[in-house]
Amino acid sequence: MSFEKSNKLEHVCYDIRGPILDYAKKLEEEGQKILKLNIGNPAPFGFEAPDELLVDVIRNLPTSQGYSDSKGLYSARKAIMQSYQAQGIYNIDIEDIYIGNGVSELIVQSMQALLNSGDEILVPMPDYPLWTAAISLSGGKAAHYICDEEQDWQPDLDDIKKKITPNTKGIVIINPNNPTGAVYSKEILLEIAEIARQNNLIIFADEIYDKILYDDAVHHSIAALAPDLFIITMSGLSKTYRAAGFRQGWMALSGPKKQAKGYIEGLNMLASMRLCANVPLQHAIQAALGGYQSINEFIKPGGRLYDQCMLAWRLLNEIPGVSCVKPKGALYLFPKLDMKKFNLHNDQKLVLDFLLQEKVLLVQGTGFNWHKPDHVRIVALPHSGELDDAIHRFGRFLENYKQ
Ligand code: PLP
């Protein structure tokens, strides 16, 4: 007798922590040093959380032994509400804010509460694959709309329109984007809002990188641009505040909530079924949002994150057969490899070959639901010296590579 995974998981895929990571772990167990450029986890690369977050968590620990409200601590939700008001999103009340164990938990809950079998959600391609995985787990179908590499990875509006069917319930926007580093223009966001308005779609705005912006990039929250639409905006402590292990994320419901009464009942039920998010760590939220925004030191020229991102971008473009759009935000680069030159047909094999030969771990583009085996994602978190070394190894590996 054997125990099998449920049918629900048959089409669920999350390759960022997928099979290639198991190979990397095996190599590490054999004593090999692997440079992991596969996960956007800032603290282990020396991007530590601001001290004031730790101080608030430690101070509040003795009084955080009980459960909190399912939606989260009042003080933390108030801080989130005020930060959205400061961004021009006014129609949010404390009760419209839900704190979760990371944005990840809220992505899954937001899909589980909404979707019936056959319902469709528009998702960017490439995407952060948890969205597609959560939709599949919930019995829905992700309809991937193209983001156009030639247009700095902005969403292709015609493709969005083409992919709307009577079953389409919502659209996901990841801005700034993982994995492409794109930051969407106000014009594009207004057009997406218009498409949502005309087709009665819920907008899911994943804005976890909203404060990680380079050069002249400006982030616009779509909820501020379209107050008449029902929008769920998500963010958290993992990236801007470098506290991914704290597992604190939130979502804020804005717009005509009466229209979504039934869905909100579903969200409330799922929030209460998991009782509440980790309580002591919720105390970091107010400290983070109200405190000194130290991320700004990292993202300006001369700051560690900016310099590393730009170094990686420059070095990738120096490799024959590789081209990379300059990131405007977030923590990643998503370079394109010349399919003909390398005779590419399997990017998972490419990533595995690179790991075995050069001991550097990347994630293949198809892991982000990209439709061709011609991209990889690189995390720009390691110090410049390590990044330089890793990208030079990538160049050396590609010199004679053919599939
Ligand atoms: N959304 C995007 C676009 C991400 O890149 C990530 C993590 O990499 C998440 C959500 C999940 O973040 P959290 O740590 O809050 O679960």
Question: Which residues are near ligand 1 (CB < 6 Å)?
Answer: 40, 102-104, 128, 174, 178, 206, 208, 236, 238, 244, 249
Least trusted range by pLDDT, from 5-9, 26-30, 167-171: 5-9
Query: Are 334 and 210 members of one domain?
Result: no
Q: Are residues 317 and 393 in the same domain?
A: yes
142 and 155 in a single domain? The answer is yes
**Domain containing residue 366:** 7-48+297-399
What CA–CA distance (Å, rounded) separates 378 from 123? 21
The number of domains in the chain is 2
Q: CB-based contacts of 373: which residues, under 8 Å, 6+ apart?
A: 339, 344, 345, 346, 347, 348, 350, 364, 365, 366
Omega into 50 within 30° of 0, i.e. cis?
no
Q: What percent of the chain has pLDDT over 90?
A: 91
Which residues make Cβ contacts (< 8 Å) with residue 301, sequence separation at least 6? 307
- Choose the final residue of a domain: 242, 257, 290: 290
Residue 83 lies in a domain: yes
| Residue 1 lies inside a defined structural domain of this protein | no
Q: Say how many Å lie between the CA of residue 296 and the centre of ligand 1.
A: 20
Q: Evaluate whether 187 touches 222 at the Cβ level (below 8 Å).
A: no
- Judge whether 252 and 232 are in contact, CB under 8 Å: yes
CB 172 within 8 A of CB 127: yes
Domain C-terminal end among 236, 263, 290: 290
The band of 254, judged by pLDDT with boundaries at 50, 70 and 90, is very high
Answer yes or no: do 79 and 117 share one domain: yes
Give the C-alpha distances (Å, rounded to integers) separating 201 from 74, 83, 92, 204, 398: 30, 25, 19, 9, 44
- Residues 233, 307, single domain; the answer is no
When pLDDT is averaged across residues 282-304 and rounded to a whole number, the result is: 96
pLDDT tens column, 356-398: 999 999 999 999 999 999 999 999 999 999 999 999 999 999 9
- Whether residue 2 lies inside any domain: the answer is no
**Residue 163 in this model has a pLDDT that exceeds 70:** yes
Q: Say what the alpha-carbon torsion angle 178, 57, 267, 244 is, to the nearest 10 degrees.
A: 20
DSSP-derived 3-state class of residue 322: strand
Distance CA 142, CA 136 (A): 7
Asked whether residue 284 falls in the same domain as residue 198, the answer is yes
Ligand 1 center from residue 14 Cα (angstroms): 13
pLDDT over threshold 70, residue 16: no
Residue 154 shares a structural domain with residue 116: yes
Q: What is the DSSP letter of 220?
A: -
The residue nearest atom 5 of ligand 1, judged by CA position, is 178
Task: Tell which atom from ligand 1 comes closest to the C-alpha of 330.
Answer: 5
- C-alpha–C-alpha distance, residues 2 and 215, integer Å: 55
Give the domain CATH number at 132: 3.40.640.10
Lowest-pLDDT range of 17-31, 93-107, 131-145, 177-191? 17-31
Distance (angstroms) between ligand 1 centre and the Cα of 340 equals 33
Q: Let me know if residue 31 belongs to a domain.
A: yes
> Do residue 278 and residue 198 come from a single domain?
yes
Residues 147 and 257 occupy one common structural domain: yes
Q: Both ends of the chain: CA-CA distance in Å? A: 40
Query: For residues 51 and 59, what is the distance between their CA atoms, to the nearest angstrom?
Result: 12
Domain assignment present for residue 15? The answer is yes
63 and 104 fall within a common domain: yes
Question: Which residue's C-alpha comes closest to atom 12 of ligand 1?
Answer: 103
Average pLDDT, the chain: 95
Q: Same structural domain for residues 123 and 82? A: yes
pLDDT at 253: 98
Q: Are 170 and 228 found together in one domain?
A: yes
CATH number at residue 346: 3.90.1150.10
pLDDT at 7 over 90: no
- Would you say residue 87 lies in a domain? yes
Domain closes at, from 290, 319, 354: 290
Asked whether residue 267 is assigned to any structural domain, the reply reads yes
Q: What angle do CA 88, 91, 96 make, to 5 degrees?
A: 115
Q: For residue range 84-112, what is the model confidence (pLDDT) as tens digits?
A: 999 999 999 999 999 999 999 999 999 99
The answer as to whether 338 is a domain residue is yes
Q: What pLDDT, on a 0 to 100 scale, did the predictor assign at position 326?
A: 97
